[in-house]
């Protein structure tokens, strides 16, 4: 592993296929990610899956302090040892899906960064979304296809549940593509770096998270169906029309604000 920002901390460990590990080794892309994060004094940086420390050590050198969440026990000791000469690294040895980001923030705001494992990227994104009020922003590297879905708009073939759910709560900004040869071992697909910035609470129009999640899940459960049919277990045609939507439209044609309007209507109906 070659790290950037002049840090010479390095160690080598075999990538574990069952954990979806692909270690970033290209110094140029490492530097671009560090620049995208651009930590400021007082920031509370939390890295998900530090791996061999490709992003960890340059961020630590720049910021002096970092919390890392690592599931692979074999990486804990070498990360701890390599970080000693650079800065204060706290490692949480846990599955990230079991980490309470709100508790970790302790009343402040976290800045999340990470090269997310392909096989867990969506669950990690939804987990972070549950704690969005305690997160300032997220700079993640994921499979490019996932980033495309996160940022897609209505009418796109890749517009779906993931993009609607994220865009209702965050500003999603794709930053740049990272090719397979930047990793060891190289994945079979391109990756991409994306920034997610949770919206201020006053700008989040969703009134009931559960109703919204149910509507979006049902709407995209069978993409080829019209809203009337896809949402038959959630609401009726009259309610769809009352929200300003056409019952014969398909989910991929509906803007995020349309799903929010329908979910809010259903939430108000159920609360009466």
DSSP per-residue letters across 110-175: EEEEEE--GGGHHHHHHHHHHTGGGEEEEEEEEEHHHHHHHH--TT-TT-SHHHHHHHHHEEEEEE
> In whole angstroms, how far apart are CA 111 and each of 44, 45, 128?
6, 5, 11
Q: Residue 61's closest CA among 23, 31, 36?
A: 31
| Residue 20 backbone dihedrals phi, psi, to 5 degrees | 65, 30
Residue 36 has which token pair?
A: 């995208």
d(CA 252, CA 63) in angstroms, rounded, equals 42
Half-sphere exposure of 245 (CA within 13 A, CB side): 30
d(CA 40, CA 177) in angstroms, rounded, equals 25
Residue 49 annotated as part of some ligand binding site: yes
Helix 209-221 with 256-271: angle, nearest 10 deg? 120
Residue 244 annotated as part of some ligand binding site: no
Cβ contacts of 15 within 8 Å, gap of 6 or more: 21, 22, 23, 184, 185
Residue 95 annotated as part of some ligand binding site: yes
Residue 135 has which token pair?
A: 């997160």
d(CA 134, CA 114) in angstroms, rounded, equals 17
CB atoms near residue 241 (< 10 Å): 13
Residue 24 annotated as part of some ligand binding site: yes
Residue 250 has which token pair?
A: 């398909």
Residue 59 annotated as part of some ligand binding site: no
Binding-site residues from annotation: 22, 24, 49, 70, 95, 115
Binding-site residues from annotation for S-adenosyl-L-methionine: 22, 24, 49, 70, 95, 115
């Amino acid at each position: 592993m070659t790290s950037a920002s002049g840090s010479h901390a390095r160690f080598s460990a075999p990538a574990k296929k069952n954990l979806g590990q692909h270690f970033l080794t290209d110094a140029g892309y490492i530097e671009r990610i560090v620049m995208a994060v651009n930590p400021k004094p007082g920031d509370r940086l939390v890295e998900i899956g530090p791996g061999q420390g490709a992003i960890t050590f340059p961020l630590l050198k720049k910021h002096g302090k970092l919390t890392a969440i690592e599931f692979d026990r074999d990486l804990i000791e070498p990360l701890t040892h390599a970080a000693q000469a650079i800065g204060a690294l706290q490692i949480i040895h846990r599955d990230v899906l079991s980490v309470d980001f709100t508790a970790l923030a302790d009343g402040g705001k976290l800045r999340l960064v990470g090269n997310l494992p392909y096989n867990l990227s969506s669950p990690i994104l939804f987990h972070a979304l549950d704690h969005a009020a305690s997160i300032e922003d997220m700079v993640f590297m994921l499979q490019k296809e996932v980033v495309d879905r996160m940022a897609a708009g209505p009418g796109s073939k890749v517009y779906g549940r993931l993009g609607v759910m994220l865009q209702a709560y965050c500003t999603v900004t794709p930053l740049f593509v990272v090719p397979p040869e930047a990793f060891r071992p190289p994945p079979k697909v391109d990756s991409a770096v994306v920034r997610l910035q949770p919206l201020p609470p006053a700008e989040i129009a969703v009134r009931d998270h559960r109703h919204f999640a149910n509507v979006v899940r049902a709407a995209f459960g069978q993409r080829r169906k019209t809203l009337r049919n896809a949402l038959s277990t959630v609401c009726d045609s009259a309610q769809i029309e009352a929200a300003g939507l056409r019952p014969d439209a398909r989910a991929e044609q509906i803007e995020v604000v349309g799903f929010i309007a329908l979910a809010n209507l259903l939430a108000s109906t159920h609360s009466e």
